[in-house]
Chains A and B, each alone.
Chain A
């Protein structure tokens, strides 16, 4: 099959806002895209070989990115040549999919590459070899023979959520072959978490990682990433914790970094940042596993979700399509069942959001971030114990306020099936009975309206419903739902259906999306529009000031028909948006009860502080 990959870098001359005005989702007129994607790639032979192709690397070359005081990953190492080629609109894209962005290993030209890549800020050429060797000794890298392809494993067996990862033999080849390892360690080099295998058995590997981190730190620098033939190693330090991702998934450094942040935040959601900091201030070599014992499953579950659920990639919430009248009446039921200090009422079905109602003052102060909701959903999903009764647990929403706890009431509304979950968040730890009483009211409201039955009928939709042939799948994330500026960021996406019904195929499609996403969000060279012909499908990604859209077509689609299809798709979304999105998230006011917790600070976070002083001082 012919492969082609074209994309348009937003040229300085073309103002970003020109595109959206043509292609606004609200507008039903035709979308005039073609003119902007006409830059054909002249050299098809060198073009993108698709993500299925084996990674053609051998040798020990690796690039180390390190920056000093730069907040954004550069990710451009080793891309010097291709990047300039691309900005000319020429064949540079060849590397795009077959290597992670910034992967330096271009085996034709190793020496140049290494020096190239390490020269970011504080030059580290001298230490490159040293570090890579150290890492190899630590058991992370042993690819000198270069035989197995990185992708032989991509989407392969490692993906399955096998329960016994903890017992894996960390010296086995199968352990090394995992697509993405994640490690968490303390600054003192103590192991805290490993996605695969027992952290204890990995303590020497983690020690090496920490040695790397401190080695670079001693030069007043921060280690950000290491690139080798097959793996990207990304380091994130958050307070006293160091998180490391060792991945051959070919995701961008930026994506891996944001995944590590999810892991960090999930830990914070259980312990709070303040107590983590305090613990390590008191005792530098504290073994945090004591506090995280039993939470490995939650982190495992998170990492599986991060790999399989695009919500994390898009930083947006997926809500279950629902007739707007039904959604409104559910919201009203929640709106009526309130008690002092209640701040969020959330209804979830099939792991997707049904509706969310928020306290007024809270929403003025800060809004609930999708990431916080993802962490909550993961917590609920990872713990079957929730089905046992009513749960009352402290939980921190790291983006809302990393240092304080909310108290979450969690209960299923439809036992024994347990598909519809109610989540009520209060700032008052003593409020269990009052909040449980809200649930009683909600139960009653649902019963009188027969809402559970309607919810049970609700389901996601199929791409075929859009009525556009060749359109297999898409993800659409509007940036600004009218009149709801501070609303939760949402996206909509149909079920993944044939040919993406197997786990492996689904992962492959997600990998393609991840690739397009990394190009669109590349910090060095962001793109607005990408038309990407892969081996078994054709994808088109497009970002405007109003939305971000990823579409997947059958390989037979032509560029013209794809663009035509997108026009139709946007029109369809516009027509269905009341059903696909939460359009008017209602609010309620639960004036803080003055006898309790606080004198009613302005917002949830203030109130949090007063409520939780006693509690927080305990850890």
Chain B
């Protein structure tokens, strides 16, 4: 696992730039259970592939990404796709600078759910603030493909998302995906450093004041 610093919850929200000029990036992986989020995360962090059990709650891991002019420290929140965790997912995606919405090209249902996740995210973020990627995983299963490349790509174009077909199994396009995200995060952070912070504060308030509407609508819509 990559080196970690970090000194408690306070720091997580404060200065996104570390002392060394390293940019801290919170990235969340969203999508139905079984689409390969944990497998992608394992590729990101260890360039490995193992058969994995469904995630419980959320797994946290870190990965450094070096660009030519900066180093980004990705804090990856690999959420559980199982429905019972949907009500907690906002806990994990709040304040994220990057979000990957993952579906499985061999599973149409997961593509539908990806769109619901996207709607959910849009409620929380003004588009453009957070780098959102649509990831079509399991590209190695093209023989049983249920979602065409074109379909995925046009959805992403409509919404202005980054799009990539990947295979966590073969490793195809996985590191490209991470690099692409890193570039975009870096760009957006240069334009506006503070956004993620106040957004997060906003969400916390919504939660605390007992107005869980956006969140509960999440479990309702996603669950249907």
Chain A residues packing against B (C-beta within 8 Å): 270-271, 290-295, 297, 339, 379, 382-386, 388-395, 408, 415, 429-434, 436-437, 440, 613-615, 617-619
Cβ-based interface call for B42 (8 A) = yes
Cβ-based interface call for B126 (8 A) = no
A385 near B7 (CB under 8 angstroms)? no
B207 near A614 (CB under 8 angstroms)? yes
Pick from B42, B45, B60, B212 the residue with the most CB of A within 10 Å.
Answer: B60
A613 near B210 (CB under 8 angstroms)? yes
Residues from chain A with a CB closer than 8 A to the CB of B4 are 436, 440
Given A385-B38, A391-B60, A437-B7, do A415 and B52 touch, yes or no (CB 8 Å)? no
Residues from chain A with a CB closer than 8 A to the CB of B53 are 297, 382-385
Residues from chain B with a CB closer than 8 A to the CB of A292 are 84
How close is A141's CB to chain B, nearest CB, in angstroms?
Answer: 34
How close is A439's CB to chain B, nearest CB, in angstroms?
Answer: 10
Query: When chains A and B are docked, how far (Å) is the Cα of A326 from the Cα of B12?
Result: 35
A614 near B212 (CB under 8 angstroms)? yes
Cβ-defined partner of A291 (8 Å) among B8, B12, B84: B84
A433 near B9 (CB under 8 angstroms)? yes
Closest chain A residue, CB of each to CB of B54? A294
Given A384-B53, A389-B60, A390-B59, do A339 and B82 touch, yes or no (CB 8 Å)? no
Cβ-based interface call for B112 (8 A) = no
Given A379-B56, A391-B58, do A437 and B84 touch, yes or no (CB 8 Å)? no
Given A389-B60, A392-B60, do A433 and B83 touch, yes or no (CB 8 Å)? no
Closest chain A residue, CB of each to CB of B94? A430
How close is B224's CB to chain A, nearest CB, in angstroms?
Answer: 10
Cβ-defined partner of A384 (8 Å) among B10, B52, B212: B52
B56 near A293 (CB under 8 angstroms)? no
Query: When chains A and B are docked, how far (Å) is the Cα of A429 from the Cα of B94?
Result: 13
Residues from chain A with a CB closer than 8 A to the CB of B1 are 389, 415
Closest chain B residue, CB of each to CB of A429? B91
Residues from chain B with a CB closer than 8 A to the CB of A382 are 53
Residues from chain A with a CB closer than 8 A to the CB of B83 are 290-291, 293
Given A293-B33, A613-B210, A614-B212, do A385 and B56 touch, yes or no (CB 8 Å)? yes
Query: When chains A and B are docked, how far (Å) is the Cα of A568 from the Cα of B175?
Result: 64
Cβ-based interface call for B6 (8 A) = yes
B9 near A270 (CB under 8 angstroms)? no
A389 near B61 (CB under 8 angstroms)? yes
Query: When chains A and B are docked, how far (Å) is the Cα of A475 from the Cα of B105?
Result: 53
Beyond contacts A388-B41, A434-B9: 6 other A-B pairs, Cβ-Cβ < 8 A, are A292-B84, A294-B33, A389-B41, A393-B58, A613-B210, A618-B87
Residues from chain A with a CB closer than 8 A to the CB of B60 are 389-392, 432, 436
Query: When chains A and B are docked, how far (Å) is the Cα of A434 from the Cα of B7?
Result: 7
Given A430-B9, A434-B9, do A385 and B55 touch, yes or no (CB 8 Å)? yes
Residues from chain B with a CB closer than 8 A to the CB of A408 are 57
Residues from chain A with a CB closer than 8 A to the CB of B42 are 388
Closest chain A residue, CB of each to CB of B4? A440
Give 4 closest A-B pairs by Cβ, nearest first: A393-B57, A389-B61, A618-B87, A294-B82
A433 near B8 (CB under 8 angstroms)? yes
12 A-B residue pairs with CB within 8 Å? A290-B83, A292-B84, A383-B53, A388-B78, A389-B1, A392-B60, A394-B88, A433-B6, A433-B9, A433-B10, A434-B9, A436-B4
Interface residues of B in 128-156 (CB under 8 A from A): none
How close is B138's CB to chain A, nearest CB, in angstroms?
Answer: 18
Cβ-defined partner of A385 (8 Å) among B10, B54, B207: B54
Interface residues of B in 4-25 (CB under 8 A from A): 4, 6-12
A617 near B210 (CB under 8 angstroms)? yes
A295 near B82 (CB under 8 angstroms)? yes
Query: When chains A and B are docked, how far (Å) is the Cα of A354 from the Cα of B88?
Result: 31
How close is B3's CB to chain A, nearest CB, in angstroms?
Answer: 11
How close is A430's CB to chain B, nearest CB, in angstroms?
Answer: 6
Cβ-based interface call for B216 (8 A) = yes
Closest chain B residue, CB of each to CB of A593? B9
> B77-93 vs A: 1/0 string, CB under 8 Å?
01011111101100110
Given A271-B84, A618-B87, do A437 and B210 touch, yes or no (CB 8 Å)? no
Closest chain A residue, CB of each to CB of B88? A394
Query: When chains A and B are docked, how far (Å) is the Cα of A297 from the Cα of B4?
Result: 33
Query: When chains A and B are docked, how far (Å) is the Cα of A151 from the Cα of B56?
Result: 37
Query: When chains A and B are docked, how far (Å) is the Cα of A386 from the Cα of B80?
Result: 12
B9 near A432 (CB under 8 angstroms)? yes
Residues from chain A with a CB closer than 8 A to the CB of B207 are 614
Residues from chain A with a CB closer than 8 A to the CB of B210 are 613-614, 617
Query: When chains A and B are docked, how far (Å) is the Cα of A617 from the Cα of B210?
Result: 9
B56 near A386 (CB under 8 angstroms)? yes
How close is A342's CB to chain B, nearest CB, in angstroms?
Answer: 12
Closest chain A residue, CB of each to CB of B206? A614
B56 near A619 (CB under 8 angstroms)? no
Cβ-based interface call for B127 (8 A) = no
Cβ-based interface call for B219 (8 A) = yes
A618 near B59 (CB under 8 angstroms)? no
Query: When chains A and B are docked, how far (Å) is the Cα of A392 from the Cα of B59?
Result: 6
Pick from B10, B87, B208, B210 the residue with the most CB of A within 10 Å.
Answer: B87
Residues from chain B with a CB closer than 8 A to the CB of A295 are 82, 84
Cβ-defined partner of B216 (8 Å) among A291, A383, A618: A618
Given A383-B56, A388-B38, do A614 and B208 touch, yes or no (CB 8 Å)? yes
Query: When chains A and B are docked, how far (Å) is the Cα of A617 from the Cα of B92?
Result: 18
B215 near A618 (CB under 8 angstroms)? yes
Query: When chains A and B are docked, how far (Å) is the Cα of A432 from the Cα of B12?
Result: 10
Given A385-B52, A615-B87, do A391 and B8 touch, yes or no (CB 8 Å)? no
Query: When chains A and B are docked, how far (Å) is the Cα of A518 from the Cα of B212?
Result: 49
Cβ-defined partner of B59 (8 Å) among A385, A394, A440: A385
Pick from B11, B12, B54 the residue with the most CB of A within 10 Å.
Answer: B54
Interface residues of B in 196-214 (CB under 8 A from A): 207-208, 210, 212
Residues from chain B with a CB closer than 8 A to the CB of A391 are 55-60
Cβ-based interface call for B223 (8 A) = yes
Query: When chains A and B are docked, how far (Å) is the Cα of A271 from the Cα of B219?
Result: 14
How close is A215's CB to chain B, nearest CB, in angstroms?
Answer: 32
Cβ-defined partner of A392 (8 Å) among B6, B58, B84: B58
How close is A302's CB to chain B, nearest CB, in angstroms?
Answer: 14
